[in-house]
Structure 1
Amino acid sequence: MKVRFIICSLFLISFLGLKAQENFSATLNFKTEPTDKINFSETNIAVFYQKKLGTKSKIANTLEYSNLKVNYEFNPYNFYADQDKFNQVQDKFEYSSEITEKTRWQLSVVPTANFQSKLDFSDVTVLGSLEISQQLSSKFNVIVGAGRTSIFGAPKFTPIVAFDYKMNEKTDFEIGFPDSRISYSNNDRNKFSLTNSFNGNFYHLDEKNVDNNAEKAVLSQMTSALEYERNVAANWFLNFKAGYDFNKKYNLLDSNDHKIYDYNNGNGYVLGIGIKYKQ
């Protein structure tokens, strides 16, 4: 009940501020990632808004809740079968501003609570990043920075780099780390994207295992996918995703982030569908 109350309160706070926003979107996504030994399925809901602060600055906020379910199809020794459901509540606050006409900086602060079923203050972790964007020409932009992220599972400091090239009004290239994307839109209603991203997450366990001191479950992978977004009516969009997870890992870590158990789940494909409302 406490977890539900906190989640509902966070969403309520987000909705109460909608009148002050200039841009708003809400999304609901479903994703499945079966592997040789374990099947993963995730439901995600997010609310986003952004607002300009004068002519040079703006703020943005994304409130997100996700639920991950794990099905251990091949688990003969019943290892950690109780670890079949994980939750995350995350709020990403972003502030960006112009330094010069062609240079911008952006700061993001991301408090996140990652837990199984019992939400505790110790489950809260603060992530974030700092990025500098430099426009080299009307079509070419360079982004560099660093952040504390969970793209490799447990929180770590990682570099951020991207080279963005807008070929024309229909085609855009963004090549970098941890995300790359090639997007093409043949009209106002269709958008096709080929993406590659390093991504991961971590979850604090409700009870520490006395045999091996496991405190976290962590997942990480590199995902290559083809995505399609369709504007179906007015402010409503449908999106579809099909791809493959490479180097997919699912491990248990101790309090010092040392690996103490590897599920050896193997790689697998990813399928997703979602609906978005934006204005």
Structure 2
Amino acid sequence: MKVRFLICSLFLISCLGLKAQENFSAAVNFKTEPTEKVNFSETNIAVFYQKKLGAKSKITNTLEYSNLKVNYELNPYDFYADQDKFNQIQNKFEYSSEITEKTKWQLSIIPTANFQNKLDFSDVTVLGSLEISHQIGSKLNVIVGVGRTSIFGAPKFTPIVAFDYKMNEKTNFRIGFPDSKISYSNNDRNKFSLTNSFNGNFYRLDEISNTENNAEKAILSQMTSALEYERNVGGNWFLNFKAGYDFNKKYNLLDSSDHEVYDYNIGNGYVLGIGIKYKQ
């Protein structure tokens, strides 16, 4: 009980400042990703707030809970049958500040607990990133940095680079790694986006497999290209829709040294998502 209380405190500590928030949003998203051998369905709940600290600095915080369900249509290995549900609790805290009028830096700290059913300290991992952005002219912004991320499944240090270009008041481009995006808004209520992102996750298993493989962690990764649409349906409420395809999709099991011990060979597949968001 004490362990659960301390872990929850780690993720909820940022909520103490909610009364002083400047921007707030809450969202619920549903996503399905079927493949040839395994079908994935995920539910995500997120709460976000942002607060300025004077004229040059601000903080943002996003608290998320995700539940991933896995349906094994073809699974001849009964000792993996219990790996049908994974959970994640994640808190992303960001601090950004101006170095000069055109140059800014941003630090993010992301404690995340990825587990099956039993939440423990061993499930907690700290991710994060450090980025520096520089404005070139009135339309181009260059971003470089490094992060400890899970975009390839297991946590690793990865580079971050992006070029943000504002073509006009309606159209914006971001070309970079791990995320690229083209967005267009024809009015205040509609926003269309074409995205490409490298993304992944990992989950610690409750029980080590009793086979010679000794799997301790499940990892997923893919590159996703998608078309997204967000619609303001009235007031502060927004609906969003997503349709795309996962390339180079992987679902593997790792041992304690992060060596691959089993590959599900699930193949690629499409992704469909729908969500609702409240923003103020």
Q: TM-score, normalised by structure 1?
A: 0.96
> Could you tell me whether the CA contact under 8 Å between 2:231 and 2:239 is conserved in 1?
yes
Match of 2:119 in 1: 119
1:261–1:11 CA distance, 2 compared to 1 (3 A) = closer
Task: Write the letter of the residue equivalent to 1:260.
Answer: V
> Aligned to 1:118, what secondary structure does the other structure show?
coil
Q: In the alignment, which residue of structure 2 is the partner of 1:143?
A: 143
Give yes or no for contact 2:111–2:126 (8 Å, CA) kept in 1: yes
Q: Are 2:79 and 2:209, in contact at CA under 8 Å, matched by a contact in 1? A: no
Q: 2 CA distance for matches of 1:88 and 1:243?
A: 23
> Aligned to 1:187, what secondary structure does the other structure show?
coil
Equivalent pairs counted in the alignment come to 279
Superposed, 1:40-79 pairs within 5 Å as: 40-79=40-79
Change (3 A) 1:20 1:260: same
Matched with 1:218 is 219
Does structure 1 residue 228 correspond to structure 2 residue 229? Answer: yes
Partner SS, residue 117 of structure 1: coil
Q: Contact 1:102 / 1:135 at 8 angstroms: preserved in 2?
A: yes
Report the residue type matching 1:159 in the other structure. P
Q: Distance in 2 between matches of 1:78 and 1:102?
A: 57
Q: 1:107 to 1:15 in 2, by over 3 A?
A: closer
Cross-structure match for 2:98: 98
Report the CA distance shift for 1:16/1:95 in structure 2 as closer, same or farther (over 3 A): closer
Q: Distance in 2 between matches of 1:179 and 1:12?
A: 28
1:110 aligns with 2:110: yes
C-alpha displacement of 1:196: 0.2
Q: In structure 2, what residue type is equivalent to 1:164?
A: D
Kept in 2, the 8 Å contact 1:199–1:222? The answer is: yes
Q: Deviations over 1:11-55 (max 9, x none)?
A: 876655321100111010000000000000000000001111111
Counterpart code for 2:243? A
- Cα distance, 1:65–1:191 mapped onto 2, change above 3 Å: same
The worse-fitting range, judged by mean Cα deviation, of 15-24 and 139-148 is 15-24
Paired with 1:96 and 1:6, the residues of 2 have a C-alpha distance of 27
2:55 is matched by which residue type in structure 1?
T
| SS across alignment from 1:17 | helix
* 2:257 alignment counterpart: 256
Please list every run of 5 or more consecutive structure 2 residues that lacks an aligned counterpart in the other structure. none
8 Å Cα contact 1:164/1:174 also seen in 2 = yes
1:166 aligns with 2:174: no
**2:33 aligns to what?**
33
Deviation track 1:138-190 (CA, whole Å, cap 9, x = no partner) reads 10000000000000000000000000000000000000000000000000000
Alignment check: 8 A CA contact 2:4 2:120 kept:
no
User: How far is the alpha carbon of 1:9 from its aligned partner?
Assistant: 6.8
Q: Is the 8 A contact 1:3 1:118 kept in 2?
A: no
Deviation of 1:209 after TM superposition, in Å, equals 1.4
Q: Does 1:186 align with 2:203?
A: no
8 Å Cα contact 1:61-1:93 kept in structure 2: yes
Write the distance in 1 (CA, Å) between the matches of 2:29 and 2:104.
Answer: 31
Letter in 2 for 1:46: A
Is the contact between residue 11 and residue 91 of structure 2 (CA under 8 Å) also seen in structure 1?
no
Identical residues among aligned pairs (%): 87
The one-character-per-residue Cα deviations of 1:222-249 (angstroms, maximum 9, x if unpaired) are 0000000000011000000000000000
Tell me the residue number matched to 1:242. 243
Tell me, yes or no, if structure 1 residue 267 matches structure 2 residue 268.
yes
- State the alpha-carbon separation in 2 of the partners of residues 12 and 103 from structure 1: 31
Point out the more displaced range, 266-275 or 18-27. 18-27
Task: For 2:146 and 2:208, locate their aligned partners in 1 and report how far apart those are by CA, in whole Å.
Answer: 32
CA–CA distance in structure 1, aligned partners of residues 9 and 147 of structure 2: 28
Give deviations 1:72-107, integer Å, cap 9, x for gaps.
011133350100000000000000000000000000
Contact kept? 1:36, 1:267, Cα under 8 Å:
yes
